[in-house]
């Protein structure tokens, strides 16, 4: 495949670049067009010229600052909805298949078990509503496009300030040196997902021409507290991780306590299970982060 990718420097985008290279696929980075702020208007026709000759556009760039989206919603909808709509229209004009990376967080608060694709999305934050609007624009532009819902991504360079696993290792080491414990939210649940696992399956699905909304998460699920405890244990740091409530963490965004998802659609279509999150976390810590 010949792919064009937005968000190539991000957590998932960097993994897509690496996995594509390993597979022998050509994957080129597309700089995110600037919208608003006095910038000249960008049209779908202009963007379509950049897509000529490619098989797939993977749109992984996003405004992922859930808290900032609550205080600056216009920026959030510009980045996650309007840009996505323009790219979807451009891909349709260029005859290019599109893969849009979305979030399992947009299912909302209706259930307390892992969500499946046939369940309604009822987002509770501007971030997740903007992602849902992006999904709708992608599928409206071309019903053969793919929307991939994932979440709680980990992986990449330890130097990345947003590297959740590396930052928890830092926190645990600091706590050990100070002789104290650390705390983590025991109420919110989701699925820790290795960026390499998600990137690999994304490319497999794109190559197979799978369309529509597809959950793509590692197998299993965990609370934030269980997740952090696994990081600390696998990193070999003798620090206690104590459970705390969601209310202990002051947040502007009304994020759901349930961001779990189940890969129901992939299972129905005969795709193999995704790796268990604990096994992938161990592989990441003992591989990419072994020297950290």
Residue 130, domain CATH? 3.40.50.720
pLDDT at residue 36, rounded to an integer: 61
Using the structure block, give the residue that is written with the tokens 């892992």. Answer: 114
pLDDT at residue 251, rounded to an integer: 65
Residue 183 lies in a domain: no
pLDDT at residue 247, rounded to an integer: 65
Residue 84 lies in a domain: yes
pLDDT along the chain (292 residues), means of 10: 94 96 96 67 83 95 91 93 94 96 94 95 94 97 98 94 95 96 94 98 97 98 97 96 76 81 98 98 95 88
Q: Tokens representing 14?
A: 């960097």
Residue 187 lies in a domain: no
Residue 173 lies in a domain: no
Residue 290 lies in a domain: no
Residue 248 lies in a domain: no
Within the chain, residue ranges assigned H as helices are 11-23, 44-51, 66-71, 73-77, 83-94, 126-141, 164-178, 195-208, 224-234, 264-268, 277-286
Residue 41 lies in a domain: yes
pLDDT at residue 37, rounded to an integer: 60
Give the structural domain span for 203.
Answer: 2-154+192-220+257-277
Q: Tokens representing 207?
A: 């190559």
pLDDT at residue 250, rounded to an integer: 61
Q: How many domains does the chain have?
A: 1
Residue 86 lies in a domain: yes
């Amino acid at each position: 495949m010949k792919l064009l990718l937005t968000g190539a420097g991000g957590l998932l985008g960097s993994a897509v670049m690496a996995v594509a290279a390993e597979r022998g696929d050509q994957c080129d980075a597309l700089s995110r067009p600037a919208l608003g702020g006095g910038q000249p208007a960008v049209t779908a026709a202009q963007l379509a010229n950049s897509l000529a000759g490619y098989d797939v556009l993977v749109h992984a760039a996003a405004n992922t600052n859930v808290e900032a989206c609550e205080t600056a919603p216009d920026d959030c909808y510009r980045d996650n909805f309007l840009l996505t709509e323009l790219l979807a229209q451009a891909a349709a004009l260029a005859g290019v298949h599109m893969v849009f990376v979305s979030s399992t967080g947009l299912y909302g608060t209706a259930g307390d078990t892992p969500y499946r694709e046939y369940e309604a999305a009822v987002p509770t934050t501007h971030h997740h509503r903007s992602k849902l609007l992006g999904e709708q624009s992608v599928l409206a532009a071309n019903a053969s496009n793919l929307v991939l819902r994932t979440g709680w991504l980990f992986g990449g360079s330890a130097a990345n300030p947003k590297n959740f696993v590396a930052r928890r290792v830092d926190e645990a080491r600091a706590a050990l040196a100070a002789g104290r414990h650390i705390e983590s939210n025991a109420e919110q649940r989701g699925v820790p997902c290795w960026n390499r696992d998600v990137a690999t399956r994304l490319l497999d699905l794109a190559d197979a021409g799978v369309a529509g909304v597809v959950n793509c998460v590692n197998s299993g699920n965990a609370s934030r507290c269980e997740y952090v405890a696994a990081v600390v244990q696998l990193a070999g740091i003798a620090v206690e991780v104590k459970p705390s409530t969601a209310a202990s963490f002051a947040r502007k965004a009304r994020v759901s306590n349930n961001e779990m998802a189940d890969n129901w659609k992939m299972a129905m279509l005969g795709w193999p299970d995704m790796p268990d999150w604990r096994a992938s976390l161990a592989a990441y810590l003992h591989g990419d982060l072994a020297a950290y």
